[in-house]
Amino acid sequence: MQNLPASSRWATWLNGNYVVRILELVQDLIVISLCIGLFSFMVMQLRGMFLSLLPPLNFPEVTSDILFLLILVELFRLLIIYLQEHRVSIGVAVEVSIVSVLREIIVRGVLDTPWTQVLASCSFLVVLGGLLVVRAWIPPTFDGIDPEQEVSRRHRIRFAHDIADIAERDTVKPPLD
């Protein structure tokens, strides 16, 4: 590698997995720092929630704090899944979105919210619910399974069989009478 020109060395280095591994490491460090920060924020939020349980009890504030903690827990779970599998879980992201919308509706109160916002929230929840249903039908795309490569492989095999069938038909000639 020492005898290669500088441009070839750069091309070899960039085409190798070095850059990808370094970028993945940096990305993992960023996600780990997000996990630590989110965990610290959850502890502070939990402390505030316990303080809000002291008399006089403000039920809407306690409910809001509990739902907010559930959102934080789901976000933390999303980050952990990313660290383990290096993918964003669509199901967990949709669940976080659903809980967030429901929290806003509960905290504001359905009767105090304008009907257009309630209608928009309901439409959004229907779409998110549809995403969860569709996501259940889609096969998982992790553990090294790339659906696009799998479909491409099937098409190549089918194409090879079709070519073989055509070649076989062309080579077999009907007997002459």
When computed from its CA atoms, the radius of gyration of the chain, rounded to whole angstroms, is 28
Q: 40-92 pLDDT, tens per residue?
A: 999 999 998 888 888 888 887 888 888 889 899 989 999 998 888 888 888 88
Could you tell me the residue ranges of all domains in the chain?
A: 14-167
Whole-angstrom CA distances from 48 to 64, 65, 78, 86 are 12, 8, 24, 33
Which amino acid is present at 147? Answer: P
Whole-angstrom CA distances from 99 to 44, 72, 92 are 20, 10, 11
Tell me the C-alpha distance between 58 and 60, whole Å.
Answer: 6
Alpha-carbon torsion 125, 126, 130, 132, what sign?
A: positive
Higher pLDDT, 120 or 16: 120
- 53 by DSSP, 3-state: which? coil
Answering whether pTM is above 0.85, one says no
